[in-house]
Structure formats: C-alpha cells, structure tokens
Structure 1
C-alpha cells in the first residue's frame, strides 16, 4: 500500500538530513502543511530547535494578491515558519524523491475568531467558539473557498488533503482545557455545536424553525446532561431530545451548508490545479459530526472529491469508519487510513503492519502516517520495519 507521512515545514526547513530520513521510512509521499492552525510541536531531531510554537492559524507561504482589500484574509506565519517555509521544505522533500501533497486546514482558526468575532459559531447559550468559523456565513465561505484553492495548489504539489472542510463545534484541543467535567456523547456534542449566528438563525428559519424557540429547546434538552444524566449518544438520542422533526430540520440546514461548501471548495481547487491533481478530504462518514474530520455523506463526497482520509487509530475496531466509504468507492477512489504512529500521542507504530492489513481488508487503498516530524527515533524505526514488511 502506498503510504504518506504528515510533515510540518519546520520539521524540514533548516534540517538538511530530514528529507532523506523521511524517505528512508519507506513512504513515497509526504503530506506537507501549507495552512495550519495554532499548535505547539516537538521537533526531536532538528539541529536548531526542539519546540516550535505556532502562535496562530497561518499560511506557511507568501500569500497572493487575491486578498488585497479584503477583511477576511489568511495570516502570514511568524518566526516559526518565515517567508516561504512551505516552499523550501517542499523543494527539499521533492529532491529526496518524494511526491509532495499539501495539507490545508480550513474552518479552524482561533485568531480569525478573536479578530472577527462575528465569524464564529455561536451556541444556544450565546457563547462564541472563536476556533470555529461558521460555514453558514457567506463571507466566511468565500474566504474558505479561496484559501482552499490558494493553499492547496502550491508549486510542485501533486495533490492536496483538505482538513476541517465542514462544521467545527465544541470539541477542540485548547490550552489548559477544562471542558471534560460533563461527559457529553454524540447527542450532547451535536446540541452544543448547533450555531445561532445571524446566518444560521436565517438558515433555521428557512427550514421552518423559530430560532429563539430552537435555542430554548436545545438548552432544555441539555439541562439533564448538565445534571449528570447519561448521554445515550447517536442520532436517535438527538431525535429524542429535540423531537424527530426539529432534529431533522437542524440537520437539513447543516448538511446542506457543509455539502455545498465542500462542492465549492473542491471546484475552486480543481480550477486552480493542473490536470491530474488529487483532491482528498479528511472525513467522518457521519454527516452530523464536527471537527477536523468533517462529517460527510460518503456517497456525496466521493462524487465530489477523489477520496477521503479517515481516522483509523484505535486497535481492531479502528477501521470501522472505512466501511461506509468503501461501500461507495469507485475503482479509482482513494481511501486513505490515517494511523497515528507517535507512541506518546496514543499511536502504536509497533502494530503498524497489522493495522495496515486490517485497514486494507476494510477497503483502504493507502496509508497516512501521523506524524513523521513528531515521532521519536524509536517510533520511526518501527515505522521503517513495518513499511518494509507491508511492501
């Protein structure tokens, strides 16, 4: 199976040994971040640093003239990825014989929410989620579509992987996070991720819902969960809490909004890209799920994009999310199983060969390895051994 390793530009830029080390893993491709959210990352082998703090979501290359005069625009990176850090890393990786695909994070941007608070998702209590741009807002959608096209189609790139191309909600890794005191399942997370910004209030109204009444119903439905009642999880629980008709109307607005954004973004990328450019989405086969792996309808998204990247870490059951995509796949569809290979982040590089075999049996055609820059030397040695066995 073809394998690609995720990499940040700062893993490679300034480390002349990095490209050969990554190629020696046995991967044929790298998925290199071109637009990325804020993070704090280890660089265990870099000759100049060990910790990189990306202070805000940014593009990791010089932006283009399309943003002149626009209120919503991507932020250039600071000292963690100066100038064309992406371009320098991509050139070095290509020189080592690796195909370079871009990695583009879209609807996940805390600085955008801080500086333009009206762009953020607003929950039923009136709380804003600054990390989550609302994809129901026309200006935000236009920004995300243009960002997708620009960041995806970098010089020399042969494809892209679009992350967070959908709704982002309550779940979010945050500094000193204190949100796990109440265990919310799928139903609670969905209710806490419903948006009530002006655009979404209008969207709810178009589905026959009164936005104020809906917000009150959501708050009432959540009240037992705050008191410790179990969240039964799943869509039936949402229907039970809101009522089937109301639940269906909220989902109709959100599903349509996400689907049309995904169509527009992929169309824009294809228009900017050379022939044969591959477009994949990081995806979850449950359309009401939020986050980095956008909730999608498998049949729809595989009619739009060339394939998906699906989270598959987690032992024997980790490949369960592949099945709905495999059922809709064409002969040329890419189904990439995303496996964490960093032990300290819950990954299991020692079982990579077995995990790859399970993924293949579930329909995966390729592997994605998270993450070549973050992994220890021991982790990388086990990846090399496993990929040698897979080949």
Structure 2
C-alpha cells in the first residue's frame, strides 16, 4: 500500500531539514500544493517562521502570461513567500530526498475570484452569492478551471495530480469568523442552501425551474425555526421529502450533469498536457448530491474518466465507491492525522489501495511519530 502526505510549499522553503525529515517518515510520495485557497497555517518546525497567512487563493509557480492574457477569470500570484516559484523549489528539494511529488490543485474554490466576479459564483435561493464557490455549470468557470488544471497539475518533474474541489462547492465553508452554525441544517438543508439559481442553473432545471426556488425556500422555512429534517432512510430521501420527488430529481440531474462536464473538462485538459503515465485522482464523495472540497461524484463515471478517487471518511465512502472500481483504479483513504485539528493516529485501511495523510506540515512532532510508527 503506497502512502502520501499533503504538504504546502512553505513547509519546505527555507527549512534545509524538511525534505529529509519527510523522507524519514517512510512516505512514498508527497502531494504538494501548486494551486491553493486562502488559509492561515502553522509551521511548527520551520527554523524561521511559525505562521503563514495566504491572503487569497493563489498559484505557487509562475503562471503563463500567454495562457491568461486578457482573461477575466485567471489565477492570482502569491506574495507572501520570497520565491518566484515556491512549488518548483519545494518539489526539487523533495525529489532530491528521494520522494516522488504529485501536485495538489484546488479548482472550484476561490474567494478572491468570486468577490471580483460575483456573476460567476453560486447564487442561492435567496439571491445571495457565495464568493468562495464558482458555479461549475457556467461556461466561463469550466474554461478557467480546465486551463488552471492543465497548468497547475502538470509541473516539471511531477508524476501525478490530485484535483480538489473538482465539482460543486456549496454553503459549507471554513470562513473567517464564521457565525452560521446557530441553526443546524443537516445534510438535506445543506443541499438546499447549496443549490444554485444563477441564469445557467435556472435554465438547467428545465420545467421545474419556476417552482424550484419557491419550493427550496418553503422547505427551508421550518428549519430556520428550529424544526428537524424529515425522517427518511437516507440523506437523499430527506431532500425528496422536503422538495418533492420531481423537483428534487430535476435539481440533482442538472447538478450531476454539470459536475461531470466540469470534471471531464478538467481531466481532459490535464491528460492533454501530461506525459504518458501521469496519474489523475479526484477528491470526491460517492454521495453525488454532496458539495464541498470533496464534492459529490458519480463514482462509476468518474472512475471511467480519471485514475482514481481520494475519499474522505473511508469507512463510509469506500463501500460506496468500491463496486465501481476498474482495473487500475485507485481508491485512496484520506486520513486526518493532526490531533490538534480533530485527527487521530493513522491506521491502515485494508479496503483502500493507498493512504493519504492530512497533513505533514501542520502535524506536531507526536503526530509525525505516529505516522513513522505506522509506516515502519
């Protein structure tokens, strides 16, 4: 079973011991961020810094001026690391230490892009835009994401990529000073609040478009008053009870088709840019109605398209994805290993083909010791 840990370029830049320390854990590879969203991150072992504040989504390599010239939607350069190519420098150091490097690319999650281009973002049933969530049904977003995927994924010397947020983002978002948890919506409520009603999506709902927005608001009203979601055998059953089977099916059909077209464009662009043997995995959840950094995917269709899936909550998601394996498919279990962020000591997941460990740069020394013990 091959193992990889997630890493930021700043975990390596300026630390001459970082690459050797990671190699000493026994990892096969590192999944290194080349295009990533805004964050504030700890660097507990770095000789010079402790906190990195990435103020906005950015790419960590020199973006091509020719590719992006004249484009409204385009990636932003970072300005908080003293390097013209943080990804390239970190990747070189890791490879010299004997660690294979794959890229980590965040696609449909970019708050700065959404603030500057609100018409390209998810618009909820109340007319409010989610700046962190580009609408993946919109042609300009698909074009932007495909070009970003090709450029950010296929960096010199890398052997593969993992595409995060390659699908619908929704209401859930780790926003600064977040204050939206006062009313617990549950997964059905999250779905309703994540439905997009921009002009493209409204057309996509077909004959149900006129009534769907009204139905969503009516279904949410009892939840705002503290009511519970209806009882049903599963999450989707609760959505159907709230919306009605016909409108719910129309909403899901549009979103599933749009997400698949977005994924086909992104994966196709990477394939066209990459050398033979370059691996493409998507972060995804086999419950197709879900949204977020691990967006819902049609596992059968995506595993025919990409080389595999990186799955959250493997105890829940692996059994859903496993029946759709193809020869050569990779199902990787994504394990949170940072105790201070709610993770636990890593353990082998025998049903998985590979393990992903989140996150080697954020981990304490005790967390790294647990990783080393597992991989020994």
TM superposition score category, shorter chain reference = over 0.9
| CA drift at 1:180 | 0.6
Contact 2:41 2:53 (C-alpha < 8 Å) held by counterparts: yes
Structure 2 equivalent of residue 218 of structure 1: 216
User: 1:91 offset after TM fit, Å?
Assistant: 0.4
Contact 2:134 2:169 in 1 (8 A): yes
Residue pair 2:105, 2:152 contacting (<8 A) in 1 also: yes
- SS for the counterpart of 2:87 is helix
State whether structure 2 residue 357 is matched by structure 1 residue 369.
Answer: yes
Cα 1:66–1:172 change in 2 (3 A) is: same
SS of equivalent residue, structure 1 residue 180: coil
3-state SS, counterpart of residue 256 of structure 1: helix
CA contact (8 A) 2:43 2:362 kept: yes
- Structure 1 unaligned runs (5+)? 313-317
When normalised by structure 1's length, the TM-score is: 0.93
1:294 alignment partner, SS class: coil
- Seen in structure 2, the aligned counterparts of structure 1 residues 339 and 76 have a Cα distance that, compared at 3 Å, is same
- Structure 2 partner of 1:348: 344
Q: Distance in 2 between matches of 1:311 and 1:288?
A: 15
Aligned counterparts of 2:44 and 2:369: Cα–Cα separation in 1: 14
1:311-336 CA distances to partner (integer Å, 9 max, x unpaired)? 13xxxxx5221112111112311111
**What is the aligned counterpart of 2:333 among 332, 337, 355?**
337
Quick one: distance in 2 between partners of 1:141 and 1:203?
15
**Which stretches in structure 2 are left out of the alignment for 5+ residues?**
none
> C-alpha separation between the residues in 2 aligned to 1:272 and 1:125?
40
* Corresponding residue of 1:143: 144
Structure 1: how far apart are the matches of 2:94 and 2:69? 31
Provide Cα deviations, 1:319-364, integer angstroms capped at 9, x if missing partner: 2211121111123111110111100011112xx2xx31xx21xx20
Secondary structure of 2:163's partner?
strand
Aligned pairs for 1:13-24 (under 5 A) are 13-24=13-24
Contact persistence 2:5–2:358 (CA under 8 A):
yes
- TM-score, structure 2 normalization: 0.97
2:90 paired residue number: 89
User: Which residue does the alignment assign to 1:315?
Assistant: none
Question: Structure 1 residue 81: deviation in Å?
Answer: 6.3
C-alpha distance in 2, partners of 1:311/1:214? Answer: 30
1:74 corresponding residue in structure 2: 75
Does the CA-based 8 Å contact 1:60-1:81 persist in structure 2?
no
**Cα displacement (A) at 1:82:** 3.6
Partner SS state of residue 186, structure 1: helix
Counterpart-to-counterpart distance in 1, 2:81 and 2:216: 41
Could you say which residue in structure 2 is the equivalent of 1:380? 368
1:323 equivalent in alignment to 2:291: no
Q: CA deviation at 1:80?
A: 3.4
For 2:83 and 2:169, how far apart are their aligned partners in 1? 28
Distance of 2:81 and 2:208 partners within structure 1: 46
User: Which consecutive segments of 4 or more residues in structure 1 shift more than 2 A?
Assistant: none
Partners in 1 of 2:32 and 2:191 — Cα distance? Answer: 31
Match of 1:122 in 2: 123
SS at match of 2:324: coil
- Partner secondary structure for residue 208 of structure 1: helix
Aligned to 1:230: 228
CA distance in 2, matches of 1:132, 1:331: 34
Matches within 5 A, 1:174-253: 174-204=175-205, 207-211=206-210, 213-232=211-230, 234-253=235-254
